[in-house]
Amino acid sequence: MSSAQTPRPVTVRDIRDRKGKEPIVVVTAYDVLFGRLVDQAGVDIVLVGDSVGNVVAGFSSTLPVTLDHMIYHGAAVCRGVSRALVTVDMPFLTYQIDTQSALANCGRLIAETGAQAVKVEGGSERIAATVARMVEIGIPVMGHLGFTPQSVNAIGVRVQGREAAEAERLIVDAKRLEDAGAFAVVLELMPTGVADRITKSVGIPTIGIGAGAACDGQVLVLPDLLGLNDAFAPRFLKRYANLSDTVRDAVRAFGDDVKQHRYPSADQSF
């Protein structure tokens, strides 16, 4: 492909400009192979989520995920992506303690992975102040409100914002993140009406997961979208493939070929 045909990399400005115009497509990826495939499929943002802890490492939450895990997976994804905007999650306790350590940690994530942006959970005054400092030193930040998995022990896995006061707090938090300079915000597990109110209250794009159709974009965890995880079937999930059957069938077929001496054949040998 000549340089004239090479698609221009997606920037945070492109993402901001899409609000209210064209829906933004986000999927997670954790390695170079899927990073390359989802980039070739034309997604706008590849999120290296700390969901890597659940879906790749088999942890029961995202809490054990470390900065080094995120750097390893973020760098692998970046080696496969040439167009989409790569955003890497800041894991638990790498940005909540104080702004100084948050800046050092997000600096490492950007410098050592090649990603263009980071994502943090929560919208308190303290988090917003940290986001503002990250943005000030030139690091684009995506927010994350609603069900925030790093707070699972405090809030449980449940839809957020059902009560009026909770919904109001989410709107305040979203505005606070916008004021701090976040370029977009993920809204996870909340009633459609609340996501709609947030989307209309802020000038930055909202990216929904289990938050209905009113958001400016949607994100899904890739192994869920591909049907690689039989055990996870929340109401909001739509599986676009059934790869767990495909994988089992392919590996069974390989096993049968080996046992029946059909693989390798003569023309596959040296």
Q: Kindly state the tokens that stand for 242.
A: 């059934």
Query: How far is residue 167's CA from residue 141's CA, in Å, rounded to a whole number?
Result: 23
Residue (26 or 110) nearer to ligand KIV, CB: 26
Phi-psi region of 34 (alpha: psi -120 to 50; beta: other; left: phi over 0): alpha
Sorted by sequence, the CB contacts under 8 Å of residue 129 that are 6+ apart come out as 99, 180
What are the start-end ranges of the E strands in the chain? 24-28, 45-48, 85-89, 117-119, 141-146, 184-188, 206-209, 217-220
Of 152 and 263, the one with the shorter C-beta distance to ligand KIV is 152
d(CA 11, CA 86): 10
Instruction: Answer yes or no: 125 catalytic.
Output: no
Q: Which amino acid is at 168?
A: E
Q: How far is the CB of 48 from ligand KIV (least distance, A)?
A: 8
Q: Which is nearer to ligand KIV, 186 or 190 (CB)?
A: 186
Report the SS3 class of residue 246.
Answer: helix
Non-local (6+) Cβ contacts of 139 within 8 A are 106, 107, 110, 117, 118
Binding site for ligand KIV (CB under 6 A): 28, 47, 49-51, 89, 144, 186, 209, 219, 221
Distances (CA, A) of 94 to 9, 97, 110, 120, 264: 28, 7, 14, 10, 49
**C-beta of 195: minimal distance to ligand KIV in Å?**
13
Residue with tokens 């676009």: 240
**Residues assigned a catalytic role:** 188
